[in-house]
Amino acid sequence: MISKLITEIRKKNAPVSVGLDPSLSNIPKKIIDSAIAEHGETFEAAGAAILEYNKAIVDAVYDLVPAVKVQIAMYEQFNIPGLMAFTETVNYCRQKGLIVIGDVKRGDIGSTSVAYAKAHIGKVQIGSASLPVFDEDFCTVNPYLGSDGIRPFIDECNTNDRGIFVLVKTSNPSSGEFQDRVLQDEDSTLYETVGFKVKKWARESMDGKYSNIGAVVGATYPKMGRILRRIMPESYILVPGYGAQGGVGSDVKPFFNDDGLGAIVNSSRGIIAAYKNEKYSKYTEDGYADAARAAVTDMIEDITGIF
Amino acid sequence: MISKLITEIRKKNAPVSVGLDPSLSNIPKKIIDSAIAEHGETFEAAGAAILEYNKAIVDAVYDLVPAVKVQIAMYEQFNIPGLMAFTETVNYCRQKGLIVIGDVKRGDIGSTSVAYAKAHIGKVQIGSASLPVFDEDFCTVNPYLGSDGIRPFIDECNTNDRGIFVLVKTSNPSSGEFQDRVLQDEDSTLYETVGFKVKKWARESMDGKYSNIGAVVGATYPKMGRILRRIMPESYILVPGYGAQGGVGSDVKPFFNDDGLGAIVNSSRGIIAAYKNEKYSKYTEDGYADAARAAVTDMIEDITGIF
């Protein structure tokens, strides 16, 4: 699957993903009001509003970017109808030829991680039928439980040609609380130690020069990105935290290899709520999809400009 | 919420939860066949089979135990119908007066953790309506992202009188890979350091003598349980890994305080698939609910016998 992502990144010259992480407060009032008029103040209304908003954004940007990152928490908060909107968003993006990264951050003990791995990048068996479930191309995974929590995901990567990004150094302010601690035996930090594990796991699912086993490293920590880039030479890095969280183009340079590959930078609010940004205010609320397209264009220019 | 759990534990004299973590391979063939006959080889069939199986087990044990732990991965793998069975299971257990622990192991950066916290132990706003979502009493949370990923859950605990159990030392074989590493500045392990954080977070949501902020520590690591019991005196410990994963009554003694409180021990497969165990084979597959009741009775006797 990583070779497919690389092909699409090259074709569009855009190592960029758009984060479809909708919150109702970012969706134009007109869409919310119309969904509530039809469905009442219900989860169904939230699901319908999210789906309409997402589709217009996808229509406006799908020719520019190789991938979307879909943050399941923003859907899960609206119960079953929210998760139906998640599924429909995943399917819609795939129909448009986009690669879908499910930002699900799952992770559990081995026997339970099997269920999560099947749910997101695998298939489950019911009687004689083998059915894909949420059917993302990649998903994000939490490493706190160690190898036996990760291995079922690696197995699904190999069985179904999928990929994962393991959380290594997250973009949030308090990520250092545990991740930056120095381990006594290693004289290296926890995030580096997780990075070394990712390097090892990566060898178990190679797909060309790169591996299906990647890592999440926040744009907000460029120095650590440089270190981790060296530790995990065969892993793609999914880089959140660009844009609304503060990262800019020059911050993400260390996440790339010299071949211009090795990283994909995500922006969520900076794209999907661009219409709220002074810079794109001329598009107005009604033009939120055009504003998203303009913001994607600027982001691609910013990031490809670093090479 | 923790005071409510303690009241129920005392009333039933059972510091025990039953893990409703159904896999199709543990559900009697008759139930699966009948669900497939009605719904075909579909997610709907899986959801229907799980719900029928769960309800019979709940009917057989609800008077014996204070709580159930519902592992969402086992439902999420069956897509929307699976998650509908999760919701219906949660609701059914609450109607029976059981406290519901959602074993969801969520955790994300601050702004996204807000969505997960609302999804599982809070309410979301849609127009003027404020709606509970999956509506568990407690949920489990992954600490890898640090305080800003945990804080939204603490806020929901305080707003809605709910609780959480933070993963500290998990029950699986590879949990030590990262959790057991010694941190240089602290001269203590990562799991102890997370434990010290739990102690701090616990002070932010006290409910009587104990806090709504608890911890997950596996029965498979009793020595570490003893250490963590001392580090987090005000936190309840949710103890998975009893039974099928190998823990026995004497293993869980260190997880309790001298007052006989401070821990709740969970068994999943050991109860819900007891009919497959030689010891309960007289109940046969059809008597799986009676076998579950017998296994719960034995488990309560084993655990209360340690005091």
**pLDDT attached to residue A130:** 98
Contacts of B131 in chain A (CB under 8 A): 41-43
Q: Which of B42, B77, B87 sits opposite A118 (nearest CB)?
A: B77
User: What pLDDT shows up at residue A111?
Assistant: 86
pLDDT tens track for B228-273: 999 999 999 999 989 877 777 888 999 999 889 999 999 999 999 9
Report the pLDDT value the prediction gives residue A198, as an integer from 0 to 100. Answer: 98
The CA distance from A204 to the nearest CA of chain B, in Å, is 18
Q: Is the complex ipTM more than 0.85?
A: yes
Q: Which residues of A are tagged catalytic?
A: 105
Q: Give the minimum alpha-carbon distance from A65 to chain B in angstroms, rounded to a whole number.
A: 23
Q: What is the distance in angstroms between the Cα of B101 and the nearest Cα belonging to chain A?
A: 16
Q: Which residue of B has its CA nearest to A185?
A: B182
**Are residues A76 and B115, on separate chains, in Cβ contact within 8 Å?**
yes
Contact list, B78 vs chain A (CB under 8 Å): 124, 126, 133
pLDDT at A251: 86
Q: Which chain A residue is nearest to residue B111, measuring alpha carbons?
A: A172
Name the residue facing A178 among B119, B133, B146 (closest C-beta).
B146
pLDDT at B110: 86
Q: What is the pLDDT at residue A100?
A: 98
Q: Does A76 touch chain B (CB under 8 A)?
A: yes
pLDDT score of B121:
98
Say what the pLDDT of residue A306 is: 87
| B203: contact with A, CB 8 A cutoff | no
- Counting one residue from chain A and one from chain B, the pairs whose CB atoms sit within 8 A come to 219
Chain A residues closer than 8 Å to B172 by CB: 109-110, 145-146, 148-149
Q: Which residue of B has its CA nearest to A79?
A: B133
What pLDDT is stored for residue B107 in this prediction? 96
Report pLDDT for B82.
98
The list of chain A residues with pLDDT below 50 reads none
SS3 for chain A, per residue? CHHHHHHHHHHHCCCEEEEECCCHHHCCHHHHHHHHHHHCCCHHHHHHHHHHHHHHHHHHHCCCCCEEEEECHHHHCCHHHHHHHHHHHHHHHHHCCCEEEEEEEECCCHHHHHHHHHHHHCEEEECCEEEECCCCCEEEECCCCCHHHHHHHHHHHHHHCCEEEEEEECCCHHHHHHHCCEECCCCEEHHHHHHHHHHHHHHHHEECCEEEEEEEECCCCHHHHHHHHHHCCCEEEEECCECCCCECHHHHHHHCCCCCCCEEEEECHHHHCHHHCHHHHHHCHHHHHHHHHHHHHHHHHHHHCCC
Could you say which residues of chain B have pLDDT below 70? Answer: none
- Predicted confidence (pLDDT) per residue in B78-107, tens digit: 999 999 999 999 999 999 999 999 999 999
